[in-house]
Amino acid sequence: MSNKKTLAFYAASGCGGCSQSLMLSPSLAAMLEGVDIAFWATQGADLTSDDISGFDDKGIDVLIYAGPLHDESSIDTAKLLRRKAKRIVSYGACAHLGGLCGLTNVYPGAQLRALSKTDGEGFVQPLSAVIDVDYILPGCPPPEAMVTRMVEELFLSDDVPEIGTVFASSKGVCAECGREHVRNPLTAIRRFHTDPPDPSVCLIDQGYICLGPVTRGGCEAVCLRSNRPCTGCAGPVAGVLDQGGAILHALASLVSFSGDGNEEKEHQVLDSIPDVVGTAYKYSAASSLLKKRVNDGK
């Protein structure tokens, strides 16, 4: 019997970006040398529950799971995979946070892709809502530097990473951004396509909504280097539970502050923030503390 680790990749219905990001890692070749691949599959397409059942319990050393959970069958498969795998990596924003599909939890009738929701009850959940997850690799799709770190720590090193490791920075995106911080109050909300930002100054200081302060870094602030705001794909920074709530909290703290108890002006600025949930909870609605829309009278 080979002493190689057994690796499996499983993608529930997703866009294919996670699989690509893993395959394009410069350390892929090194990883493949050191592992036996049990399967490299997308939901239903390559292997059925029976096929998965055929593996020994804990027979897979590392399972990389990508994509959101959205119905009974994806939940059952996730539970089955949990039995078969010693370690599970929640890979990419959908598995980690619910991803962009999670906004469908808030807006009834919305569909990003044709997820086969079997009934009205189905809603998008992150993997960790259903099974214990050992490691997390954030990002939509995960950036190269983080993928490389995961490959190195999981497959190329003799040490086993501690359970709960997130293969990203423990600091926020701001720590990697490098833009100048000028501490302006927020007096009006600007949009980067109608009103392009100064590429050297903090976007929030210029009035753009950027999720950098509340989002886990490790991406080298890739979006900011393109002169665009961070949209939060890596999920909340360590210590924060609700990414959307945290950015709203931060923005409300930055409005120009009259302090006189007459907050009409401040409220006007806050009212002008467009698409609050789509902006603050873009990837994390399904893993937010509220999880989905409720019917609460008004």
Partner 1 sequence: MASNVIALIPHFDEVVLTDNNKLAARVAIPQTGDGFSSYMRGRLAEDLPLYVQRLDTHCAVSQHLAAVSALDRCYGASPPEKAVRIRRALAYAGVYYHHLEQLFLSRPSGDVGIAGLVTTDETLAPTDIFETLGRARDVIDILGGRGITPECGIAGGVTKGPTDDELPRAKDISSHLLEFALQAEKGFRGSGAIWVTEHDLSVPAYSLGTVNDVAEASLYDGALRIVDPEGTETAVGGTKEILPILLAWKEDLPLRVGPLARLNVGSGASTPQAKALQKYLFDALGEPPIDRVAAGHWAMVIELVESAELLVSALTTLETGDSVINSALNDPCEGIAAIEGASGTLLHHYVIDEQGIVQEARIVSPESLRATEVNAALSSAISDGASGVTEGVIEQIVSVIGSYQPAYVPSAAFPLRITLHDKGGKVAKEWRRP
Partner 2 sequence: MSDNTGFEPKIIAFLCKWTTYAAADLCGVSRMPYPPNISIISVNCTGEVTADMILSSLAKGADGILIGGCRPGHCRYEGGNIKGSNRVYLLKRALREFGVNTERIREVGIAGAQGLVFQRAVEKFTADIRALGPSPVVSNV
d(CA 242, CA 60): 33
- Phi/psi of residue 276, nearest 5 degrees: -55, -50
Which residue type sits at 278? G
CA 119 to chain centre: 26
d(CA 86, CA 282): 31
Q: Find the part of the chain contacting partner 2 (CB under 8 A) among 5-13, 25-33, 92-100, 263-271.
A: 263-271
Please give the structure tokens belonging to residue 226: 């393109």
Number of residues that bind partner 1 (CB under 8 A): 56
Q: Which does 103 bind (CB under 5 to 8 A by kind): partner 1, partner 2, none?
A: partner 1
The widest CA-to-CA distance across the chain, in whole angstroms, is 75
From the list partner 1, partner 2, none, pick the one residue 164 interacts with, judged by a Cβ distance below 5 to 8 Å according to partner type.
Answer: none
H or E element, residue 6: strand 5-11
What letter represents residue 53's amino acid? S
Please report where in the chains the tokens 């009259």 appear, as a residue: 258
124 binding partner 2? (CB under 8 A): no
Report the amino acid identity of residue 205. Answer: D
Q: 104-123: which residues touch partner 2 (CB under 8 A)?
A: 106
Residues 3-32 that bind partner 1 (CB under 8 A): 11, 13-17, 19-21, 23-26, 28-29, 32
Site for partner 1, rule CB under 8 A = 11, 13-17, 19-21, 23-26, 28-29, 32, 37, 40, 42-46, 48, 51, 99-100, 103-104, 107, 109-114, 140-141, 144, 191-194, 196, 222-223, 225-228, 231, 274-275, 278-279, 282
Site for partner 2, rule CB under 8 A = 106, 240-242, 244-246, 248-249, 251-253, 255, 257-263, 266-267, 270-271, 273, 276-277, 280-281, 288-298
